Amino acid sequence: MRYLKQLSFVEKVFPDATHTRFTHALGVSFLSGQFAKKLNLSESEVRLVQAAGLLHDVGHLPFSHSLDIFIPKLFNGKNIYTHEDLGRAIVAGKIKLDLPDAGKIPSILEKYKLNPEDVGSLIAKQFTLKPYLQKIISGGVDADRLDFLKRDSMNTGVVSGNVDQERILQLALINNNNLEFHHKAISPVREMLNARNVMYNEVYIHRTVNLSETMLQKAVELEIDNLPDLPKMGDEELLMRLEQSKNEKVKELAQRIKYRKLYKIAYQIPMHSATEKIKENIEALKKKGTKRIESELIGLINKKRKILNNNEEIRNGDVLASFPNVEKIKYQKIFDKQEINVFSPGKKNTNYSYFNVICEKSLKAEAEYAVKEYLENI
C-alpha cells in the first residue's frame, strides 16, 4: 500500500495529493481503535477493528478504484468481484500474492489472537455477528470516511468544512447491537456529509481525473493478458510496464498519462441538461457497454473518412467512451433530506456528466459528429 496513491490521478489537478493508501490505512486503524475505546468495547474487539482498519484496502489494484473493473477477470472462478472480496481472500490466506511476507498475514493475526476470517469479513462488509463492529469499519459514519475526508482535504488544499472526528467519536453509542449516534451528533455529522459532498464535487470526480482513468482503463484492457501480476504492482510499476508494451497504442496512452498529454472531451452529456428521454438513452448506452460504443464510433468515423477519400483509419483506443461515476450524497432518515442541484456557469465541459467521449485533439470534430449521428439511432 506504500506504492498506491490514495487518490490515484488527483495529483494531476492538486499536486500535493500524493499521500498513499498506507498512511490512510494507519489513520483508519487508529480511528477504529478510538471508536471501539469510546464505546467501551473489549480489548479483543478493539484489536479486531484496528486490524480490519489497517488491512481494509489491502485488496486494491494500482491506481485504486480506477482498475476495480478488472478484478473479476483477474480472479475468474474464485468468487472475487471487488477489492473488498480480494482483501478478504488475502487476509484469510486464500489468495497469496508473490510478494515478500504476503502470506504471513493470517499467522500474524493469529499471533494476536485474531481470527483472519473475522478480519476478512469486516473488510468485505459481511460481518453480521456484531453489526456495531461492521459499522465502525464500513457504515454511514465510519473510521474510513472520517480519515479520508480530513486527510484528502489537507493534502489537496480543498477546504471542505470541519470534520470533527473527536466530537463524532464522543457521541457514538451502541443501541440494539448497532452503532448509532446521540442526537447531539446531528450537527457534526451534517458537517461531515457536507465535506464529503464538497470533496466529491471538487476533487474525486474532477474531469481531469476521469480523463486519466478512462485512458488507463483502455491501456490495461488492451494489455491485460500480459499483466497476470497486476494485483502486486504499485502505481509507478504498472505505468512503466505499460510504457514498455509491444502494443503501440498501450505505450502511447501510458506516455500521455505520464506526461499529462490527455485526450480532450469531444462530446459530453452534462447532468444539468439531461431530460428523461436523454436518461433513457444513457441507460441504453450502458447496456451496450463502452467497448461496443467505442467500436461503433470508430466504425462511423472510418466510414465517413472513406466517403471523403481518406483511407487513414483510426484504431481501437483512439476514441474512448466513459460513464463517470458521479455518486449522489445520501442522508440518513434521521436527518433532513436535501436535494443538491447542480448549476453550470456556461462552461463547455463540466465535471458533472453522465456520458463522455474523448479523443486526441485532432479527432475532436470527427468524433463529435460521429457521436451525434450515433445517438440519433439509439
Q: What is the pLDDT of residues 242-259, one digit of tens each?
A: 999 999 999 999 999 999
Q: What does the block give as the cell for 214? A: 478512462
Q: How far apart are CA 217 and CA 64, in angstroms?
A: 12
Contact between 199 and 189 (Cβ < 8 Å):
no
In tens, the pLDDT along 298-313 reads 999 999 999 999 989 9
Q: What does the block give as the cell for 208? A: 481531469
Strands 178-181 and 319-322: unpaired
Give ∠ CA 107-112-114 in degrees, rounded to 5. 75
Q: Angle 21-38/143-156 helices, nearest 10 degrees?
A: 140
Sheet holding 264-270, edge to edge: 264-270, 353-359, 319-322
Domains (ranges, CATH) in the chain?
Answer: 8-204 (1.10.3210.10), 263-378 (no CATH)
Q: What does the block give as the cell for 119? A: 478480519
In tens, the pLDDT along 122-160 reads 999 999 999 999 999 999 899 999 999 999 999 999 987
Q: Is the pLDDT of residue 182 over 80?
A: yes
pLDDT of residue 340: 36
* Predicted confidence band of residue 101 (pLDDT cuts 50, 70, 90): confident
pTM, 2 dp: 0.89
